[in-house]
């Protein structure tokens, strides 16, 4: 086992321990709390909050992926090429409007809670997946495509059996970027009453309790690193199966 894998396992073990038994880390977090302040976040269960945070991110990224990949496939077909500028404009909406602005616009329509956060994360996650989908489908090996046509495959068969499997590692790279962005950005959802790890950080900021801020930040950071590494590993596996190297 490599040193990198050992570090990943250690980070995972510490994260699980922090979520299941945060009291074990009371001595460490006491170094960052003022006298009389609670050391461990006491306004909710860290594990439950983390699961809620991950569910919100998963739903938003799944939605972004479905729409972005669908648009990417559409505009790389001859019949849909003319929609490329419109599709790119749609994908850029999330990057044009900051998530905080999206939350402010969504709250009057959807009310407080998870809804506005999902909208903000969905829009913010479109561009990385869309652009990587375009890259994946526009850089397919010409010889492979010619062979698929020569074998008499229909357009649907080429898409599902040839193009999509070949483009998948590049698409997955976009999903990885979108997921990591969403993990960090989801914390602002707590400003509109969504249950995310942002509530731990915000509670610390409001009370001047650095221990709370550190707890929320460490959990988000550990999740981002572990999920990033897991998706990177999946990309490498897919590329290895195709006999290609992973570009870095």
Structural domains in the chain plus CATH codes: 51-191+223-241 (1.10.3720.10)
For the record, the structure tokens of 114 come out as 């998870």
Q: Do 201 and 212 meet the contact criterion of CB atoms below 8 Å apart?
A: yes
**pLDDT reported for residue 142:** 86
**pLDDT reported for residue 247:** 44
Residue 97: how many other CB atoms lie within 10 Å:
16
Distance from the Cα of residue 112 to its chain's centroid: 22
Q: Do 61 and 175 meet the contact criterion of CB atoms below 8 Å apart?
A: yes
**pLDDT reported for residue 236:** 86
Q: How would you write the pLDDT of the chain (248 residues) with one tens digit per residue?
A: 688 788 889 999 999 999 999 999 999 999 999 999 999 999 999 999 999 999 999 999 999 999 999 999 999 988 888 888 988 888 888 778 788 888 888 899 888 989 999 999 999 999 999 999 999 999 988 888 888 888 888 888 888 889 999 999 999 999 999 999 999 999 999 999 899 999 999 999 999 999 999 999 999 999 999 999 999 988 888 888 776 554 44
CA distance 29 to 6: 24
Q: SS3 sequence, the chain?
A: CCHHHHHHHHHHHHHHHHHHCHHHHHHHHHHHCCCCCCCCCCCCCHHHHHHHHHHHHHHHHHHHHHHHHHHHHHHCCHHHHHHHHHHHHHHHHHHHCCHHHHHHHHHHHHCCCHHHHHHHHHHHHHHHHHHHHHHHHHCCCHHHHHHHHHCCCCHHHHHHHHHHHHHHHHHHHHHHHHHHHHHHHHHHHHHHCCCCCHHHHHHHHHHCCHHHHHHHHHHHHHHHHHHHHHHHHHHHHHHHHCCCCCCC
**pLDDT reported for residue 91:** 86
pTM assigned to the model: 0.90
**pLDDT reported for residue 246:** 47
CA distance 164 to 156: 10
C-alpha dihedral sign at 64, 73, 131, 229: positive
Distance from the Cα of residue 84 to its chain's centroid: 24
User: CA 11, 17, 19, 21: dihedral to nearest 10 degrees?
Assistant: -160
- How far apart, in Å, are the Cα atoms of 188 and each of 108, 191, 198? 17, 6, 6
């Amino acid at each position: 086992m490599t040193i990198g894998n050992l570090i990943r396992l250690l980070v995972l073990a510490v994260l699980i321990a922090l979520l299941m038994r945060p009291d074990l880390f009371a001595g460490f977090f006491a170094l960052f709390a003022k006298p009389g302040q609670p050391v461990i976040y006491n306004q909710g269960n860290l594990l439950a909050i983390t699961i809620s945070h991950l569910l919100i991110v998963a739903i938003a990224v799944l939605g972004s992926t479905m729409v972005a990949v669908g648009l990417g496939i559409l505009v790389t077909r001859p019949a849909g090429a003319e929609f490329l500028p419109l599709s790119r404009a749609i994908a850029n909406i999330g990057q044009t409007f900051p998530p905080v602005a999206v939350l402010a616009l969504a709250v009057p329509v959807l009310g407080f809670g998870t809804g506005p956060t999902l909208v903000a994360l969905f829009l913010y996650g479109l561009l990385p997946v869309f652009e990587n989908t375009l890259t994946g489908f526009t850089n397919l090996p010409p010889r492979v495509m010619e062979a698929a046509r020569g074998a008499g495959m229909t357009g649907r068969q080429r898409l599902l059996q040839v193009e999509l499997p070949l483009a998948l590692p590049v698409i997955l790279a976009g999903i990885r970027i979108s997921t990591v962005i969403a993990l960090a950005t989801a914390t602002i959802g707590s400003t509109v009453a969504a249950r995310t790890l942002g509530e731990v950080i915000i509670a610390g900021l409001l009370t001047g309790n650095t221990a709370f801020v550190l707890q929320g930040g460490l959990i988000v950071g550990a999740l981002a690193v572990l999920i990033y590494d897991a998706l990177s590993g999946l990309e490498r596996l897919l590329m290895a199966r195709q006999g290609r190297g992973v570009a870095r």
